[in-house]
C-alpha cells in the first residue's frame, strides 16, 4: 500500500500552536492544548498569517466604517453628557426653589416675631412714661 499523505503546517484555532497535519484527514487534534479542529480552517489560517507580500503598488484601507463608528460613539457620549448636565441643572433649580421657600418662611416668622416685639415694646413704653 502506498501512503501519499502530505503533511502541511497549520495553526491551532484555539492556542495558535503550529501543528503538522495530514491533509487526507478532515479533523486534527492539537498536541499542545488538545483542541480538535477542522484541518482546512487551520491550514488557511496558517497560510494567511504567513503570507508574504512581495510588492504592492496601491494599498487601500477602508476607514469609513471605523470612522463612522468612532463619530457615532463620540456623538452618543456628547448627547449623554448634555443630558446629564441638563438633569443636574434641573435638580439644582429644584433645590434652589426649596431653599428660597425655606428662606422666605424663615423671614416671615422673623417679621412676625419682630412685629410682635415692637407692639409689646410700644405698649410697655406707653404705660411707663
Each residue's pLDDT tens digit, 13-41: 678 787 777 767 777 778 888 888 776 65
| pLDDT tier at 128, thresholds 50, 70, 90 | confident
Q: Say if CB 32 and CB 12 are below 8 A apart.
A: yes
Cell 428662606 -> residue:
103
The half-sphere exposure of 70 on its side-chain side, counting CA atoms within 13 A, is 5
CA distance linking residue 4 with residue 2, whole number of Å: 6
Q: Say if CB 9 and CB 51 are below 8 A apart.
A: no
pTM recorded for the entire structure = 0.40
CA distance linking residue 69 with residue 63, whole number of Å: 10
Domain boundaries, the chain: 1-51, 64-120
Amino acid at each position: 500500500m502506498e501512503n501519499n499523505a502530505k503533511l502541511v503546517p497549520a495553526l491551532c484555532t484555539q492556542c495558535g500552536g503550529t501543528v503538522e497535519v495530514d491533509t487526507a484527514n478532515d479533523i486534527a487534534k492539537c498536541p499542545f492544548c488538545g483542541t480538535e479542529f477542522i484541518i482546512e480552517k487551520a491550514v488557511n489560517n496558517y497560510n494567511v498569517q504567513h503570507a508574504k507580500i512581495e510588492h504592492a503598488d496601491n494599498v487601500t484601507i477602508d476607514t469609513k466604517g471605523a470612522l463612522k463608528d468612532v463619530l457615532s460613539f463620540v456623538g452618543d457620549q456628547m448627547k449623554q453628557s448634555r443630558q446629564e448636565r441638563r438633569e443636574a441643572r434641573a435638580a439644582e433649580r429644584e433645590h434652589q426653589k426649596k431653599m428660597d421657600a425655606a428662606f422666605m418662611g424663615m423671614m416671615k416668622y422673623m417679621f412676625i416675631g419682630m412685629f410682635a416685639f415692637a407692639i409689646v415694646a410700644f405698649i410697655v413704653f406707653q404705660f411707663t412714661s
